[in-house]
Amino acid sequence: MRKTASNKPTLGQLLITSKTAIIIEIILLFTLAYLVLHLLTPLAKDNPVQKQAVMWITNVVMLLTVWVGLKIRGHGLKDFGFNLSFISWRQTGKVILQSIIVLIITLAAFILGSIIMANITGIPEGADLSQYDYMKDNFGLFLLTLVGVWIVSSFGEEIIYRAFLINRFTQLGLTGKSGQIAAVTLSSVIFGFVHFSWGPMGIAQTTFMGLALGFSYIYLEKRLIVLILAHAYMDTTLMIQMYLSSQ
């Protein structure tokens, strides 16, 4: 008796076509992040460097989860719009110029979030960035943190909270202009609440920052490297500010 080929869809096909599978993937991503934080945070105790390391490890786990999902689909980071193959200096210069423009827009959104939160609460209190106090007067830790932030935040957060979430929400049916607005807004709110340790002001600031980066991602037709560079400029400025704050 001849065996017939199975018509059962593969996991990769399900992750492309099944909304249920996509929802499970998103839930799995943040469940793994929660478990890593829950397991490793007690080990860090009150050591600020170890606490920062826990956050980095969590983001790396999330990045690996996103990467595995792409591989199962038969896709790569190019499907998210991450492409470093610049053909000419002119194109490279265009990307840098675009990243500076996105930086300005993102800074304006960041400040707008501060103003709105200050008006809501009546307390113009800044974001709580005390977790970076360990860098003050320590150039070695400053450099280490800066490199880590470039990899984990500037690159990692754009992959996770812009490319992954916006694309997955779009696959769930959030298409067209209204759908794109909803996808960017939802991803930005998640991005904001991920920064809960920064306090209410920090959540508002990063939510508006996410909105600016998310809409830039859509407008630039998923040219992710532009967002990564803009995010890196912001992170570098923040780290330098934290390092110099005690001097």
pTM: 0.89
pLDDT in tens, 43-97: 988 888 888 889 999 999 999 999 999 999 999 999 999 987 766 788 888 999 9
Interatomic CA distance for residues 125 and 201, integer angstroms? 7
* Domains of the chain, residue spans: 11-244
Amino acid letter at 143? L
Round to the nearest angstrom and report the end-to-end CA distance of the chain.
82
pLDDT in tens, 180-233: 999 999 999 999 999 888 888 889 999 999 999 999 999 999 999 999 999 999
Task: Give the list of residues 6+ apart from residue 94 with CB closer than 8 angstroms, or none.
Answer: none
Place of tokens 């984990």: 152
Number of Cβ within a 10 Å radius of residue 192: 22
8 Å CB contact between 52 and 151: no
